[in-house]
Structure formats: structure tokens, C-alpha cells
């Protein structure tokens, strides 16, 4: 059995937040001490490292499940599948629906159940559930669908990554400038391997949960005297960077080795849009691990510059944009080999080798 992506769609929020919008913000360190550098200098260094110039936030009337439904409708239309024939709806998310101007998450019912409801799918055999796997959640959802397909349990699935990180950030933490909102969706279908050469060729997954487990966590605001009962997304940035450099390239190589595909055959790498310099470093280490010095110029599409880090939504959003020809320098043709890879809270990493 071979798992194919037959439809894609994404929702890009309409509210644009530029780096300059943070210029009036005062930032603090974890110990509550004020960062003495001017905000303009903090922002300049931030952009140099992350590549982020602006990001998108969801408008007040939209939640994660709403954006997921909007992306899902586009993916379903792109695939031409009858929604009532879907066997699974898998929604990757981290914080559920966070109502604007609150910090309380709402995951009852699950976002997947809300999406199924909003799509009007009546088929009770269409099983809807959420997964929590940090930023690699959408990739993991695709891996789960592939596993169900190979087990003969399902044949069609809708996998979505959706998040509103803008509603769980601490405005006094400079890391808050990294995060954004968005949703990306894909329709997956199973076909007999003797009917197609396209589809998932292999995948690799790892979880490191000792010291690494708390590299991303929920903690109180860095603002002095803040209420410790109100918690926000926090990140040990240097630890995350070192972890990613060590383990993500190895997982990507393992995935390629399982498929018997040389790195020189890879047309595009769709990597989680976390940090421009980190992602570039991961690609360099991957090619070095594979014994290659030369890296193709346009192998790694990026949308982090304008969209920021929307966690589980970055890869499906990026893939949809490239697949539908948003950039002249990036295109996909039948038979192209692509690699999906992600890293995030847990700490978790995963990769998929896929032939278009």
C-alpha cells in the first residue's frame, strides 16, 4: 500500500505583525531583569538570527479549529474526495482553541471533532482525533495515517496542523516575536503499490524525553511580579538549537537510508519553519552526513520571513504554497523526491521521504 497526498490547502491569517510593531516593547530576561539593549537592537539581532521580518496573527473572531476548517475545505476541494468517505480526521495542535483576550485553552470537544462538525460530515466511521506532538505534529499525523493505511484500517484521511500561538505568548519575552498563527491541511489516500510509484517511501521518528523534555514548556511571564498562575509558552532557545543540530540531520539521513534514496536525488526539503539559521544549519549537516559538499541552491523553500513560526502549520502551509506555484524559483513535478522534517517540544523529531 502506498500513501499519496492528493489535496492540500492552507489558511494564512490576515493580521500582519511586523518587527517594527515590537519596537515600543520592553523585554526582560528569565530572572526578571530588564534587557538594557534598546528594543530596536533586540529586534535587529532577532531578525538576523531567525530571518523573521513579520508574522501573521489570527483575527479575533477566528480560533484554531476555524482556521483548520478553512484549510480543510481547500484541501478537500483540491483532492476531489467526498468528505463522507474520509476514514480519519487527524488534527495536530498544541493549545486547542484559545479565545482571544484570554489565556485559557479549550479542547473539549477536540478540535478534530469540531472540524468534522463544521464540515458537516455525518459518517460515524470517520474517526476524528487530535494529536499533541509539538511542532512535528502535522508530520506525525501523516505518519499515523500512513500506518493505518498499511494496516488496512483506513484508506482516506484528512491531516491538519493548526495553531494560534499569538494567544499564548509573553509580550515581555523576546522569544514572543518568533511565534505566529496559521493552518495547513492535506488529504491522504491509499493506493496499491503496484498502481503508483508516488507516495510515502519511508519515515523516521524519535523522542528524547530526559533533560530535553523541558526545552519548551509553559511558564510565568518574565515581567517582574507577574502572576505565576498565568503561564505562557517558553523556550530554552540555545538548548533547542543544539538539540536540533545534533539529532534532526541524523533522523533525516535515517529516513533517506530507509528509502534507499541518496540526498542528491532530493528536489526539495520542507523543514519546520522555526529559525532560518537553524534550518540552514540542519541542511548543511545533513549533506555533510551524506558525504556531500555541494548543496543545491533552491532545495529549501522558506516562508518564515513573512509568516513566522506557526508550529504544526508551518510545513503543510509551506508545502501547499510551493505545490500551487506561489514562488517562481520553487516547483514540484511528478516523480520529484521531497523530504519533510520537523523538530519541537517533547523533544520530538520526525522525517518523511516522499515521491511526488
Looking up residue 244, the CATH number of its domain turns out to be 3.40.47.10
Q: What pLDDT is attached to residue 342?
A: 97
Grid coordinates in use for 208? 528524547
Q: Which three cell numbers stand for residue 282?
A: 540542519
C-alpha–C-alpha distance, residues 10 and 298, integer Å:
22
| 151, 62 Cβ separation under 8 angstroms | no
Confidence check: pLDDT of 195 > 90: no
Tell me the average pLDDT across 321-350. 94
Distances (CA, A) of 133 to 130, 196, 216, 311, 312: 10, 30, 12, 10, 9
Region 303-307: mean pLDDT is 96
CA atoms within 13 A on the CB side of 56: 23
Confidence of residue 37 (pLDDT cuts 50, 70, 90): confident
Cβ contacts of residue 326 below 8 Å, gap of 6+?
none
Are residues 17 and 46 part of one domain? yes
Which pLDDT band holds residue 193 (cuts at 50, 70, 90)? confident
112 and 146 both lie in a single domain: yes
Q: What is the pLDDT of residue 10?
A: 98
State pLDDT tens for residues 214-242: 999 999 999 998 999 999 999 999 999 99
Q: Are residues 257 and 188 in the same domain?
A: no
- Provide the pLDDT for residue 72: 98
Distances (CA, A) of 30 to 33, 111, 195, 236: 7, 32, 56, 10
pLDDT at 103: 73
Mean pLDDT of 105-120: 96
pLDDT for 36 equals 87
Tell me the average pLDDT of the chain: 95
Examine the fold and report which residue of 170, 195, 220 is the final residue of a domain before the chain moves on: 195
Mean pLDDT across 147-158: 95
Same domain, 315 and 248: yes
The pLDDT assigned to 120 comes to 98
Q: What is the mean pLDDT of residues 175-204?
A: 94
Provide the domain count of the chain. Answer: 2
pLDDT surpasses 90 at 73: yes
| pLDDT over 90 percentage in the chain | 88
Last residue of a domain, one of 135, 165, 195: 195
pTM: 0.94
Residue 181 has pLDDT above 80, yes or no: yes
Asked if residue 207 and residue 164 are part of one domain, the reply reads: no
Last residue of a domain, one of 166, 195, 224: 195
* Owning domain of residue 243: 199-355
Report yes or no: 74 and 9 within 8 Å, Cβ to Cβ. yes
Amino acid at each position: 500500500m502506498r500513501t499519496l497526498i492528493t489535496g492540500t490547502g492552507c489558511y494564512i491569517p490576515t493580521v500582519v505583525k511586523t518587527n517594527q510593531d515590537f519596537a515600543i516593547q520592553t523585554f526582560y530576561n528569565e530572572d526578571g531583569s530588564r534587557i538594557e539593549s534598546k528594543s530596536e537592537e533586540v529586534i535587529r539581532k532577532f531578525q538576523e538570527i531567525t530571518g523573521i521580518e513579520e508574522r501573521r496573527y489570527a483575527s479575533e473572531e477566528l480560533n484554531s479549529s476555524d482556521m483548520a476548517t478553512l484549510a480543510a475545505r481547500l484541501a478537500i476541494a483540491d483532492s476531489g474526495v467526498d468528505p463522507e468517505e474520509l476514514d480519519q480526521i487527524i488534527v495536530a495542535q498544541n493549545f486547542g482553541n484559545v479565545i482571544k483576550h484570554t489565556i485559557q485553552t479549550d479542547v473539549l470537544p477536540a478540535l478534530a471533532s469540531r472540524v468534522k462538525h463544521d464540515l458537516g460530515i455525518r459518517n460515524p466511521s470517520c474517526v476524528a482525533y487530535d494529536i499533541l506532538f509539538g511542532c512535528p505534529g502535522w508530520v506525525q499525523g501523516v505518519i499515523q495515517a500512513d500506518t493505518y493505511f498499511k494496516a488496512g484500517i483506513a484508506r482516506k484521511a484528512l491531516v491538519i496542523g493548526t495553531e494560534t500561538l499569538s494567544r499564548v505568548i509573553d509580550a515581555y519575552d523576546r522569544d514572543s516575536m518568533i511565534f505566529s498563527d496559521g493552518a495547513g491541511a492535506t488529504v491522504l489516500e491509499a493506493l496499491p503499490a503496484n498502481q503508483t510509484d508516488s507516495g510515502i517511501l519511508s519515515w523516521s521518528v524519535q523522542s528524547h524525553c530526559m533533560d530535553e523534555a523541558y526545552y519548551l514548556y509553559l511558564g510565568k511571564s518574565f515581567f517582574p511580579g507577574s502572576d505565576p498562575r498565568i503561564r505562557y509558552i517558553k523556550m530554552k532557545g540555545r538548548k533547542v538549537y543544539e538539540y536540533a543540530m545534533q539529532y534532526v540531520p541524523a533522523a533525516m539521513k535515517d529516513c533517506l537510508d530507509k528509502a534507499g534514496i541518496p540526498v542528491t536525488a532530493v528536489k526539495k526539503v520542507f523543514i519546520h519553519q522555526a529559525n532560518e539559521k537553524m534550518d540552514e544549519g540542519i541542511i548543511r549537516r545533513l549533506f555533510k552526513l551524506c558525504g556531500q559538499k555541494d548543496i543545491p541552491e533552491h532545495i529549501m523553500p522558506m516562508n518564515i520571513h513573512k509568516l513566522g513560526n506557526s508550529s504544526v502549520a508551518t510545513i503543510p502551509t509551506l508545502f501547499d504554497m510551493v505545490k500551487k506555484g506561489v514562488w517562481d524559483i520553487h516547483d514540484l513535478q511528478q516523480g520529484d523526491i521531497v523530504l519533510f522534517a520537523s523538530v519541537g517540544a517533547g523533544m520530538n523529531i520526525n522525517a518523511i521521504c516522499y515521491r511526488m
